Amino acid sequence: MTTFLPNNQIQLLRNGEAYFPALITAINNASHSVYLLTYIYEIDKAGISVGDALKQAAQRGVTVNVLLDGFGCKDMPKAYLTELENAGVRVLFYRPKISPWTLKKSRLRRLHRKIALVDSTIAFVGGINIIDDYNVPDNTPPRIDYAVRIEGTLLPIITKSVQKLLRRLSLSYLKIGNSVTTISASKSETVAIKGVDAAFVLRDNVLHRRDIEDAYLDAINAAQSEIIIANAYFVPGRRFRQALLRAAKRGVKIELLLQGRMEYFLMFATHAFYSLFLKNGVQIFEYRKSFMHCKVAVIDGYWATVGSSNIDPFSMMLAREANIAVQNAEFAQELRAEICSTIREGAHQVSADEWLHGHQFKRALSWLVYGLVRWGMGLIGLSRDG
């Protein structure tokens, strides 16, 4: 059961265009601590701007901790890491040992969360990596992605989670002792901002293995009128597929906004269930204008989520993820309007007739790729919900 807390102020941020100025402003105003967790950190315009803010914060005495994923940031220049560390920024890597020749679960368990925490009073959670919106191939329009800025009663929970992970990595992985300074969350506990009911929902490999999936399923199973999901990597497991089909059969309108440009070969697995969904009245839209990286949803115009978790086996069964779930009509309607605008401006609707009577090669390829995904999951013991 997802636990929602009242009195949160949550601001929707579309793309790095809105996210990075808000993040940098918060870092520039930090007085005692900054934590930044990200899967990808590119040394481009956005990355340099964020890095400059982090360095300046550290130089004025703020404790700055940055946690990067070992695979997502495997190409980060060592010179830039040294530059950050020389300025006083503590940089840690989550599972730095990677290998293209192994399918060990330990190598595939990645830090996919995107969280920033400033002074335990402001947090940012979402799907946006530290990478410029225009850092895309072929000079295409900027990618679509979302994050939220949070103040209020969720901050102690987010603070505890972030500090626990950093402390664990410092002691267990990097063997560098108590390098992560623990900042009391008492200041955020006194914040009484009247706002929305929200929950901080994690996925990890110990106590929260299915929390994000269960939050989705609870909302889908309770849906009465509409489900809109916009997700970049959509290969849902059996429980998720069945929940959507049950909702469709009871008359709920379902729209899926999925990635229309294939960034990776394994993304073809997304097409494996097109026929099943289309035959049952689920509407599918492919975003083709640019690259869509978002992981958001709105249900019945009241429940919404923004976060880092894709709906695929890697996010749902392997990676550390973080989502914010919201129960608030005003926020949900704002996000819904964003998704609908994206559909109108850059998406192509895949009709049942088009898919079922054409695209024979695509359909065959999708099942081949899906089979490879299932085989890979089975090889490491994770094929139970295919």
Q: Comparing C-alpha atoms, which of 271, 277, 291, 232 is closest to residue 373?
A: 271
Q: Which of 44, 197, 204, 300 is catalytic?
A: 300
For helices 15-28 and 45-59, angle between their N-to-C axes, nearest 10 degrees: 10
How many CB atoms are closer than 10 A to CB 182? 14
Tell me the C-alpha distance between 161 and 349, whole Å. 40
The DSSP-derived string for 366-377 is: HHHHHHHHHHHH
Options 55, 112, 211, 271, the catalytic residue: 112
Note if 293 is an active site residue.
Answer: yes
Q: Which residues of 239-261 are buried (b: 16+ CB within 10 A; e: fewer)?
A: bbbebbbebbeeebebbbbbbbb
Q: Where are the beta strands (DSSP E) in 15-143?
A: 33-38, 63-69, 90-94, 115-118, 122-126
Per annotation, catalytic residue among 55, 69, 119, 133 = 119
The residue length of the chain stands at 386
Q: Per-residue b/e over 307-329, b at no fewer than 16 CB within 10 Å?
A: bbbbbbbbbbbbbbbbbbbbbbe
Q: Catalytic residue at 114?
A: yes
Nearest alpha carbon to residue 278 among 303, 301, 302, 258: 258
**DSSP of 356-367, one letter per residue?**
HSS-HHHHHHHH
The torsion angles phi and psi of 237, rounded to 5 degrees, stand at -75, 180
Residue 359 designated active-site: no
Q: Does residue 295 carry a catalytic annotation?
A: yes
From 69, 114, 133, 145, active-site residue:
114
Indicate the Cα dihedral angle 356, 358, 359, 364, nearest 10°. 60
Catalytic position from the list 55, 69, 211, 295: 295
Give the catalytic positions in this structure.
Answer: 112, 114, 119, 293, 295, 300
